[in-house]
Amino acid sequence: MSKARILLEGEKPGDLEPVVAQIKELTTALNMTMIGPVRMPRKKLEISCRKTPCGDGSDTYEHWEKRISKRLVDIEGDEKLIKQILRIRVPSTVSVKISLS
């Protein structure tokens, strides 16, 4: 029995849910044990800068924020079955990190 830890990251939580649903379907069909999905804390990337490039005028600032959502899934099963899960189609907006042990 080998274990796989899958970390899904994306800007929109709606992009992560279909990928997690596909993983759930495959694990139940292949009789594998699955723990998760565990919702990890959202990462916020914030940038604030002055509106005027020269520095003259009033102190007005622009604020931008980017939020990154994460899901963590642990899977336990045979190596052949885990390879089938690795073939899931993932949208381009979602990044996947897989660690096998």
Average pLDDT over residues 60-64: 88
Task: State the pLDDT at residue 73.
Answer: 93
* Tokens representing residue 56 in the block: 């003259």
Model pLDDT, residue 83? 82
Mean pLDDT, residues 69-98? 87
**For residue 1, which amino acid is it?**
M
The full set of domains in the chain, from first to last, is 2-49+61-100 (3.30.70.600)
What is the structure's pLDDT at 70? 94
* Count of beta carbons in the 10 Å neighbourhood of residue 79: 10
pLDDT tens for each residue of 65-77: 999 999 999 998 8
pLDDT for 13 beyond 80:
yes
CA distance 16 to 8: 7
